Amino acid sequence: MSSELVSYELEGNIAVLGLNRPDKRNALNDDVLKALSEAVMRAGEEADAGVIFGHGPNFSAGLDLAQLAERLRPDAPRDRKRKRYIWHTTFDLIARGTIPFVAALHGATIGGGLELAAAAHIRVADETTTIGLPEGQRGIFVGGGGSVRIQRIIGYATMADLMLTGRMLSAEQAHEVRLVQYVVGSGYALDKAKQLASKIAQNTAQTNWQITNVLPRMNDLSHDDGLFMEYLNTAMVRPPETVERLKQFLEKKAKPLAMG
């Protein structure tokens, strides 16, 4: 299945989602985010892990500035009530949903595009990737959760540097500041992301959920509360699959080595 704005393919137990506005450098607007949200929810039902990539030469150049400029017109219509912010709700579905996601980055991964990538749990960048947060030079601020997610990944000092100066990072530089976990040759990010997602999908659903939903919340807890949360999770009832996996591991370990 493919929508006009976000493609969706199910490859075994892996859902592969593609931003599909290559002529606009995969710029993100409300329509793209709605399509992405629907695809992410579908992936959570059908797959055990997901991959997000961008069609064309870029992952995403970020916020659709044309849409923003239209909204900022003095005579633009205003909503009477505040609504939940679609950037936050969509990216939270990725970051703390039901399955882990791997982002395959290439070309421009800028502003909101980087915030989307930061919502994924693992990021793979190929050598063409250019990463940055140029919002400061455009008179705006990050709005896709980057002030929380990106800052937690790279720290305040590095994020402030990127935003204040507008400088761009190469894939290798992004790896040095731990913004991406893997760097591959040009054109291989999607293949590597699918490989990682396939490995992740072999974990139990409960373990993947704990890693993506419980573990990041530990940052918000005190030392004692964090240990208590860990205890609660280790004491959770395990699914039958966990027992079977432990049994298989122990039987394999106990099997005598064949003599050559």
The string of pLDDT tens digits covering residues 140-164 is: 899 999 999 999 999 999 999 999 9
User: Would residue 172 show up in a list of annotated catalytic residues for this protein?
Assistant: no
As a whole-number percent, the residues of the chain with pLDDT over 90 amount to: 77
User: Which comes out higher in pLDDT, residue 24 or 252?
Assistant: 24
- Note the pLDDT tens digit of each residue in 59-105: 999 998 666 556 655 766 777 655 668 999 999 999 999 999 999 99
Which residue's structure tokens are 């500041």? Answer: 177
1 pLDDT above the threshold of 50: no
3-class DSSP state of 79 = coil
> Cα dihedral sign for 34, 40, 41, 43?
positive
Q: Which of 185 and 247 is assigned the larger pLDDT?
A: 185
Among candidate residues 9, 46, 70, 115, the one labeled active-site is 115
Per-residue CA distances from 197 to 8, 19, 96, 169 (Å): 15, 18, 16, 25
pLDDT in tens, 177-222: 999 999 999 999 999 999 999 999 999 999 999 999 999 999 899 9
What is the per-residue pLDDT for 258?
45
Position 257 scores a pLDDT of 41
Out of 1.10.3470, 3.40.50, 1.10.12, 1.20.1530, which CATH number does the structure's domain 205-254 have?
1.10.12
pLDDT tens for 222-231 read 999 999 999 9
- What does each C-alpha distance from 135 to 30, 114, 145, 165 come to in angstroms? 18, 12, 13, 10
pLDDT of residue 76: 61
Would you list the domain boundaries of the chain? 6-200, 205-254
Residues 6+ apart with CB under 8 A from 140: 63, 68
> pLDDT digits over 38-51, tens only?
999 999 999 999 99
Instruction: Give the integer Cα–Cα distance in Å for 168 and 210.
Output: 34
The catalytic residue among 46, 127, 135, 176 is 135
Identify which has the larger pLDDT, 257 or 9. 9
pLDDT at 60: 98
Q: What architecture does CATH give domain 6-200?
A: Alpha-Beta Complex (3.90)
Output the CA torsion sign for 211, 98, 8, 37: negative
Q: Are the folds of 6-200 and 205-254 the same?
A: no
Q: Is 251 a catalytic residue?
A: no
